[in-house]
């Protein structure tokens, strides 16, 4: 059985999570090859010792594992099966780890007949990625999981094999469903309090310190208090995408999820208003009452 913990490893996609994963692997002494659609994002990693490749196919050459951390299913398909993709020159011999959040059926379809492929739902943020504190939920065949596990244990404090390929995405979608609803609920409560004349900062401090607040609420309350949504921990447009995917999963199995549906609609509307590249807590900006909506008392 091939082990992957000694590298070299390719990381494809250097957004917040991909860059954090690559930095973690470099810090553990592995040889890391990276690719990103926007090459400038690779510069800090190159300075730290990563080899920057011009195309995904070049990045995976000679590696024992490749981690794909791109934004969506379309990007994942291009990275794997595009003209310069991972599979352009034939089967990839290492362990292929799909850490992009896509529909479970989509990761199965894109993977096709790749012999060793895993889908990994990552719970945590870029800081967790850099220090190996992620929680990783994995789908794929047992042999593939056994081969990839040493590498995954380097990246996460918890690694759970859930079952068949697609299972990791199912877990990730339901976790993001909870996050999207929680952050929107926090934003709604805060905007209602403000509109009714309560002190915004005091309300947020009270919620964050209460038994009602999850760690996500306590964390995002600082975003809402500051009103700063740049340098996102998780982009709003990606939350909109994941909430839509979760809603579609529910519809496919005959479930009605009213909260998920409502949250998806709000996040899509926020994206359409130009907030997509801000932190997901910026959903509060579509809740702010317009002057014409206020009433005389």
Task: Verify that 183 and 140 share a domain, yes or no.
Answer: no
Task: Verify that 52 and 139 share a domain, yes or no.
Answer: yes
Name residues of the chain where pLDDT drops below 50.
Answer: 1-2, 293-297
Cα–Cα distance, 90 to 111 (Å, whole number):
13
Question: Whole-model pTM?
Answer: 0.90
Where are the alpha helices (H) located in 82-166, listed in sequence order? Answer: 104-111, 126-131, 142-155
- pLDDT tens per residue across span 147-203: 999 999 999 999 999 999 999 999 999 999 999 999 999 999 999 999 999 999 999
Range(s) of the domain holding residue 26 = 9-164
Q: Is 159 helix (H, G, I), strand (E, B) or coil?
A: strand
Task: Verify that 152 and 56 share a domain, yes or no.
Answer: yes
Domain boundary among 110, 143, 164: 164
Task: Verify that 157 and 179 share a domain, yes or no.
Answer: no
For residue 2, being part of any structural domain is answered with no
114 contacts 68 by C-beta, under 8 angstroms: no
Cα three-residue angle 228-216-100, rounded to 5 degrees: 90
Domain boundary among 164, 190, 213: 164
pLDDT (0 to 100) of residue 114: 87
Cα three-residue angle 217-223-224, rounded to 5 degrees: 80
172 contacts 122 by C-beta, under 8 angstroms: yes
Q: Is 96 helix (H, G, I), strand (E, B) or coil?
A: strand
Joined tokens for residue 265? 């609609």
For residue 65, being part of any structural domain is answered with yes
Joined tokens for residue 162? 């859930």
Q: Is 59 helix (H, G, I), strand (E, B) or coil?
A: helix
Domain boundary among 149, 164, 179: 164
Task: Verify that 43 and 120 share a domain, yes or no.
Answer: yes
For residue 73, being part of any structural domain is answered with yes
Task: Verify that 157 and 229 share a domain, yes or no.
Answer: no
For residue 3, being part of any structural domain is answered with no
pLDDT (0 to 100) of residue 294: 45
- Strands 134-139 and 117-123, by their bridges, are antiparallel
Instruction: Report the number of distinct structural domains present in the chain.
Output: 2
């Amino acid at each position: 059985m091939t082990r992957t913990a000694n590298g070299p490893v390719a990381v494809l996609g250097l957004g917040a999570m991909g860059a954090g994963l690559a930095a973690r692997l470099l810090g553990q002494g592995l040889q890391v090859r990276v690719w990103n659609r926007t090459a400038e994002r690779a510069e800090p990693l190159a300075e730290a010792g990563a080899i920057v490749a011009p195309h995904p196919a070049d990045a995976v050459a000679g590696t024992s594992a490749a981690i794909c951390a791109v934004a969506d299913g379309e990007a994942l398909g291009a990275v794997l099966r595009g003209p310069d993709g991972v599979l352009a020159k034939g089967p990839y011999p290492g362990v292929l780890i799909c850490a992009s959040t896509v529909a479970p059926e989509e990761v199965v379809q894109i993977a096709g007949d790749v012999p060793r492929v895993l889908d990994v739902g990552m719970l945590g943020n870029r800081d967790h990625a850099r220090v190996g504190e992620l929680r990783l939920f994995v789908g794929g065949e047992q042999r593939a999981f056994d081969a990839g596990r040493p590498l995954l244990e380097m990246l996460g404090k918890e690694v759970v094999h859930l079952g068949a390929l697609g299972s990791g995405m199912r877990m990730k979608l339901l976790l993001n469903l909870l996050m999207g609803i929680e952050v929107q609920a926090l934003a709604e409560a805060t905007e209602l309090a403000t509109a009714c004349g309560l002190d915004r900062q005091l309300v947020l401090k009270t919620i964050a310190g209460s038994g009602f607040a999850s760690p996500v609420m306590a964390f995002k309350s600082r975003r809402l208090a500051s009103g700063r949504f740049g340098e996102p921990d998780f982009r709003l447009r990606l939350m909109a995408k994941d909430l839509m995917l979760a809603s579609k999963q529910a519809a496919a199995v005959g479930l009605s999820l009213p909260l998920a549906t409502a949250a998806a609609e709000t996040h899509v509307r926020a994206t359409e208003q130009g907030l997509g590249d801000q932190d997901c807590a910026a959903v509060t900006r579509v809740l702010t009452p317009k002057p014409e909506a206020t009433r005389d008392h």
